[in-house]
């Protein structure tokens, strides 16, 4: 009441609205205000003279509000309304909220009395003054629900609130149709049951609705995300937002190159320059292939560490814009479909990517299929996801290729493929690195990449260069381009003279000069010089593999002699071979390898004394032909070749010989063979494996001889054959056991 009495005309207090709504001309004095926040109003109690009826005060207030509307800030269109409370309001704080429908119950005035059901006309005359009534629904005549009731639907919730608060508890007298004893009105808000025909049809036709929803969602995602992804791929290929391509970065790098330069980087570059000079013809050939219009692949094949990637990216494509490098190694090593999709997307700059959405879609698909019997089609296979990523990338590469075309060019009217065919220099270059890396378990990935690359070259969208370590790449690529001859180049190990020049160039750029102007090594040798004694012999041992030569050059620059450096490299390689191929458990049983320890050890022993082995001779050896662990000899050799323990050389497309995987492995094999304990242990395992094979032959021959003994007439030639076979196997077993006994003595006496 203090807020009511002290409020000013400009006050924003809601209580001020009550003061403004009650005019000064009304013969009434406000005594109490009861706010009803849930109903959006307030009950106002007042005193008035006995000779002035309350209805007259109501008329004065309503007329005043019509002439001078009071509109609060929260309801600027509809002003304050007022009505005289005729019943007994129910002030409750239940979890019930206003609605535009009122349930009007007819109850007796006094307990135990009788109530009369009011007609629609009576209800209309009572409720119409509070607002527009949309409908009045009486209780069905055959309903046995008591008390009797009727529904009054208002056009506005506000009018419904006013009617309930003014007439709740009102006793309808006899003259208004309330009966002799009168009828009390008891009202409550009733939530109207709204019909939803559209939703009902949708829920009852899932076989039609679900495919339509899937199509709409797919179309929406294509419209929204595909342009973003295409833009992301173009920015990734062109390097538009790459920091190293900005002018400020190049300016800072130019100004600070003398501060941030390192001798090791200069030495590395100088050593590589010696190799690039030696391979200048191959670099020029690749550049010429990129200027031709032929629709075929360019394949650069060579062992790991031969410098394929550096040759192509740093020399053949040096200064060329719009180069996309797709590295297959992280994609092939990904575990699970979601990781494969994610890494493939990152490899081409495809963003945004929701790799987890496929798993969620699969669960939604399964749930819908189990409940409705309809497969929604939300989930996509790995193949379709990869296809989508590669198709979007192809579209982005096409836009990059024609981005420099102008409307006033003479050939501006040509189709896209014809324009790019006429301008091979404007096509982007796609370099697919580590192709067929771990090809055994990721065939679908490589098949999709090969098909996509074939579509790129056949449509003249881009040049495609494959970098691979696998010599059998033609099997995979011929599926995609069966009628084309590949542009191919093979990178082998460096020759000894080129390898020596590489090391000398590497060391020469990394040396400083003393006061006399002579080169001075960085190592801690006497006089400050690098010791190169025996370098030729060490290069012959190490071979011409580029990464091994870089390792040697860095060790020489650190102060080691060539012999010390090569000995350490050989020991390290021997340790790697022992860990990866010769330790127990490295067999086909662990799901990662397709060879046995005995097969790997046989190759180590054979290649330690011979530069190459005949391929078929290896397959015919008992460790491959009679292996009880992994009898498939060709798969074992293929697995060992993929793991780079050996190299399988081909002649006219067929495997012909087996050599070491890396040149330094020959020395590592000899080092392993020189370890008497290790050799005895592995030889013991090989002999035990061979003895098992011979024991199986003996068991088989004895079983057949026992069967022949039961026959009434024996075949003498067959019996003689089995006896000779049995005798030969027994002789071998005896030899194996003698050798096993000798090896056990070695293991018992040696450390």
pLDDT tens digits along 228-254: 999 999 999 988 877 777 778 777 777
Q: How confident is the model at residue 24 (pLDDT cuts 50, 70, 90)?
A: confident
Per-residue pLDDT at 510: 43
pLDDT averaged over every residue in the chain? 83
Per-residue pLDDT at 100: 92
The answer to whether 629 and 610 are in contact (CB under 8 A) is: no
| Contacts with 106 (C-beta within 8 Å, 6 or more apart), sequence order | 115, 116, 117, 118, 147, 148, 149, 150, 183, 184, 185, 186
Per-residue pLDDT at 268: 54
Per-residue pLDDT at 43: 93
Average pLDDT over residues 250-259: 70
| Whole-number Å distance between alpha carbons of 664 and 684 | 26
| Contacts with 619 (C-beta within 8 Å, 6 or more apart), sequence order | 625, 633, 634, 637
| Whole-number Å distance between alpha carbons of 477 and 446 | 9
Per-residue pLDDT at 27: 87
| Whole-number Å distance between alpha carbons of 467 and 327 | 9
Q: How confident is the model at residue 168 (pLDDT cuts 50, 70, 90)?
A: very high
Q: How confident is the model at residue 614 (pLDDT cuts 50, 70, 90)?
A: very high
Q: SS3 of 691, please?
A: helix
Of 16-25, 55-64, 353-362, 407-416, the range with the highest mean pLDDT is 55-64
Per-domain residue ranges of the chain: 2-67, 101-194, 219-261+292-490, 496-572, 693-751
Tokens representing 304?
A: 């790991």
Per-residue pLDDT at 591: 47
- Compare 121 and 472 and report the one with higher pLDDT: 121
| Contacts with 407 (C-beta within 8 Å, 6 or more apart), sequence order | none
Q: How confident is the model at residue 257 (pLDDT cuts 50, 70, 90)?
A: low
Phi and psi (nearest 5°) for 656?
-120, -35
Phi and psi (nearest 5°) for 633?
-65, -40
Per-residue pLDDT at 555: 84
Residues 661-708: pLDDT tens digits? 888 899 999 999 999 998 899 999 888 888 888 888 899 888 988 888
Share of the chain above pLDDT 90, in %: 25
Report whether pLDDT(171) > 90. yes
Q: Of 172-176, 216-220, 520-524, 558-562, give the lowest mean pLDDT range.
A: 520-524
Report whether pLDDT(441) > 70. no
Per-residue pLDDT at 131: 92
| Whole-number Å distance between alpha carbons of 744 and 741 | 5
Q: How confident is the model at residue 86 (pLDDT cuts 50, 70, 90)?
A: very high
Per-residue pLDDT at 525: 42
Q: Of 59-63, 228-232, 468-472, 616-620, give the lowest mean pLDDT range.
A: 468-472
What is the 3-state secondary structure of 271-312? Answer: HHHHHHHHCHHHHHHHHHHHHCCCCCCEEEECCCCCCHHHHH
Share of the chain above pLDDT 70, in %: 88
Per-residue pLDDT at 590: 43
Q: Of 128-142, 212-226, 493-507, 518-532, give the lowest mean pLDDT range.
A: 518-532
- Compare 189 and 469 and report the one with higher pLDDT: 189
Q: How confident is the model at residue 421 (pLDDT cuts 50, 70, 90)?
A: confident
CATH class of 101-194: alpha beta
Per-residue pLDDT at 37: 86
Per-residue pLDDT at 99: 92
Per-residue pLDDT at 262: 44
Residues 423-436: pLDDT tens digits? 888 899 999 998 88
Q: How confident is the model at residue 513 (pLDDT cuts 50, 70, 90)?
A: very low
The answer to whether 664 and 576 are in contact (CB under 8 A) is: no
Per-residue pLDDT at 523: 41
Per-residue pLDDT at 325: 93
How far lies 338's CA from each of 82, 343, 344, in Å?
65, 9, 10
Q: Identify the sign of the CA torsion 538, 539, 544, 547.
A: positive
| Whole-number Å distance between alpha carbons of 106 and 138 | 11
Residue 366 CA to chain centroid, in angstroms? Answer: 21
Tokens representing 18?
A: 């009550």
Per-residue pLDDT at 511: 42
Q: SS3 of 109, please?
A: coil
Q: How confident is the model at residue 203 (pLDDT cuts 50, 70, 90)?
A: confident
Per-residue pLDDT at 202: 82
Residues 295-348: pLDDT tens digits? 888 999 888 877 888 889 888 898 888 999 999 989 988 888 888 888 999 999
| Whole-number Å distance between alpha carbons of 352 and 196 | 38
Name the DSSP class of 477: H
Q: Of 4-13, 69-78, 370-379, 600-609, give the lowest mean pLDDT range.
A: 370-379
| Whole-number Å distance between alpha carbons of 49 and 26 | 11
- Compare 467 and 25 and report the one with higher pLDDT: 467
Q: SS3 of 651, please?
A: strand
How far lies 88's CA from each of 170, 192, 264, 560, in Å?
7, 25, 96, 106
- Sole residue written with tokens 């595909």: 226
| Whole-number Å distance between alpha carbons of 401 and 725 | 71
Q: How far apart are the first and last CA of the chain?
A: 104
């Amino acid at each position: 009441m203090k807020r009511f009495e002290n409020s000013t005309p400009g006050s924003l207090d809601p209580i001020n609205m009550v003061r403004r709504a009650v005019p000064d001309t009304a013969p009434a004095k406000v005594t109490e205000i009861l706010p009803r926040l849930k109903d959006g109003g307030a009950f106002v109690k007042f005193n008035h003279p006995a000779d002035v009826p309350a209805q007259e005060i109501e008329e004065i207030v309503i007329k005043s509000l019509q002439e001078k509307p009071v509109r609060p800030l929260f309801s600027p269109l509809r002003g304050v309304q007022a009505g005289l409370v005729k019943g007994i309001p129910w002030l409750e704080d239940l979890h019930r909220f206003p609605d535009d429908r009122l349930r009007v119950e007819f109850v007796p005035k006094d307990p135990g009395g009788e109530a009369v059901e009011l007609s629609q006309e009576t209800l209309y005359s009572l409720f119409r003054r509070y607002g527009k009534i949309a409908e009045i629904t009486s209780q069905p005549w055959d309903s046995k629900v008591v008390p009797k009731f009727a529904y009054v639907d208002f056009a506005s919730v506000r009018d419904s609130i006013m009617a309930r608060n003014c007439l709740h508890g009102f006793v309808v007298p006899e003259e208004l149709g309330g009966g002799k004893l009168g009828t009390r009105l008891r009202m409550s808000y009733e939530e109207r049951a709204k019909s939803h025909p559209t939703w009902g049809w949708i829920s009852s036709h899932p076989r039609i609705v679900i495919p339509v929803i899937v199509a709409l969602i797919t179309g929406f995602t294509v419209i929204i995300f595909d342009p973003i992804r295409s833009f992301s791929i173009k920015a990734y290929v062109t390097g538009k937002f790459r920091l190293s391509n900005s002018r400020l970065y190049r300016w800072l790098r130019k100004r600070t190159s003398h501060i941030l330069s390192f001798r090791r980087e200069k030495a590395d570059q100088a050593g590589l320059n010696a190799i690039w000079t030696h391979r200048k013809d191959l670099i020029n050939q690749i550049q010429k292939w990129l200027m031709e219009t032929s629709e075929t692949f360019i394949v650069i094949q060579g062992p790991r560490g031969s410098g394929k990637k550096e040759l192509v990216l740093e020399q053949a494509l040096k200064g060329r814009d719009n180069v996309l490098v797709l590295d297959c190694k992280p994609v092939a090593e990904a575990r699970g479909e979601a990781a494969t999709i994610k890494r493939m997307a990152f490899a081409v700059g495809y963003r945004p990517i929701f790799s987890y959405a496929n798993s969620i879609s699969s669960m939604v698909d399964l749930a819908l299929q189990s409940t409705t019997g309809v497969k929604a089609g939300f989930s996509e296979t790995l193949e379709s996801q990869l296809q989508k990523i590669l198709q979007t990338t192809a579209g982005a590469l096409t836009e990059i290729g024609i981005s420099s075309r102008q409307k006033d060019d003479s050939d501006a009217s040509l189709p896209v493929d014809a324009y790019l065919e006429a301008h091979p220099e404007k096509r982007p270059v796609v370099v697919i690195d580590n192709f067929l890396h771990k090809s055994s378990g990721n065939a679908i990935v490589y098949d999709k990449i090969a098909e996509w690359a074939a579509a790129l070259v056949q449509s003249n969208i881009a040049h495609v260069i494959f970098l691979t370590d696998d010599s059998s790449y033609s099997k995979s690529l011929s599926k995609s381009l069966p009628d084309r001859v590949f542009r191919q180049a093979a990178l082998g190990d460096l020759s000894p003279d080129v390898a020596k020049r590489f090391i000398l160039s590497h060391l020469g750029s990394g040396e400083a000069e003393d006061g006399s102007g002579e080169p001075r090594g960085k190592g801690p040798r006497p006089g400050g010089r690098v010791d190169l004694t025996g370098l030729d012999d060490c290069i012959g041992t190490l071979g011409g593999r580029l990464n091994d030569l870089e390792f040697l050059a860095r060790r020489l620059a650190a102060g080691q002699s060539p012999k010390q450096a090569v000995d350490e490299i050989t020991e390290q390689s021997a340790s790697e071979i022992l860990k990866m191929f010769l330790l127990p458990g490295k067999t086909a049983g662990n799901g990662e390898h397709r060879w046995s320890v005995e097969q790997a050890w046989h190759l180590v022993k054979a290649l330690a004394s011979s530069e190459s082995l005949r391929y078929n001779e290896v397959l015919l050896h008992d460790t491959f032909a009679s292996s009880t662990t992994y009898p498939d000899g060709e798969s074992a050799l293929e697995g060992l070749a993929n793991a780079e323990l050996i190299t399988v050389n081909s002649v006219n497309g067929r495997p012909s010989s087996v050599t070491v995987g890396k040149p330094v492995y020959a020395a590592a094999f000899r080092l392993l063979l020189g370890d008497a304990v290790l050799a005895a242990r592995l030889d013991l395992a090989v002999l035990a494996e061979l003895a098992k094979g011979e024991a199986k032959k003996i068991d088989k021959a004895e079983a057949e001889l026992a069967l022949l003994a039961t026959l009434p007439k024996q075949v003498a030639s067959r019996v003689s054959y089995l006896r000779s076979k049995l005798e030969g196997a027994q002789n071998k077993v005896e030899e194996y056991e003698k050798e096993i006994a000798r090896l056990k003595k070695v293991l018992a006496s040696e450390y």
